[in-house]
């Protein structure tokens, strides 16, 4: 007689954890909305637009 052991975590959740890197897990926990808002607030209307502020902050953290 065999008793089937119940799984603690599903196969789909295991795949999700494996696909997400450590950097992605760290960045997903950070709330940078206030910083990004204050940097976007300085509205210079002339000149090139540049990069998205949120992406630049994530790049600095990743470095």
Tell me whether residue 42 is in a domain. Answer: yes
Q: How do the residues of the chain divide into helix, strand and coil, expressed in percent and rounded to 5?
A: 55, 0, 45
Tell me whether residue 43 is in a domain. Answer: yes
How far apart CA 49 and CA 43 sit, in angstroms, is 10
Tell me whether residue 51 is in a domain. Answer: yes
Task: Look up the pTM and report it.
Answer: 0.56
Tell me whether residue 23 is in a domain. Answer: no
Taking only the tens place, the pLDDT of each residue in 4-61 is 777 777 767 766 666 667 888 888 888 988 888 888 766 666 666 778 888 888 999 8
Per the structure, how many domains does the chain have? Answer: 1
How far apart CA 50 and CA 25 sit, in angstroms, is 27
Tell me whether residue 22 is in a domain. Answer: no
Which domain, by its residues, includes 58?
Answer: 31-62
Q: What pLDDT was estimated at residue 4?
A: 76
């Amino acid at each position: 007689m065999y008793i089937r052991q119940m799984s603690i975590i599903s196969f789909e959740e295991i795949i999700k954890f494996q696909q997400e890197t450590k950097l992605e897990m760290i960045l997903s926990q950070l709330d940078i909305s206030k910083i990004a808002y204050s940097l976007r607030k300085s509205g210079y209307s002339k000149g090139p637009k540049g990069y998205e502020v949120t992406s630049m902050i994530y790049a600095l953290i990743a470095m």
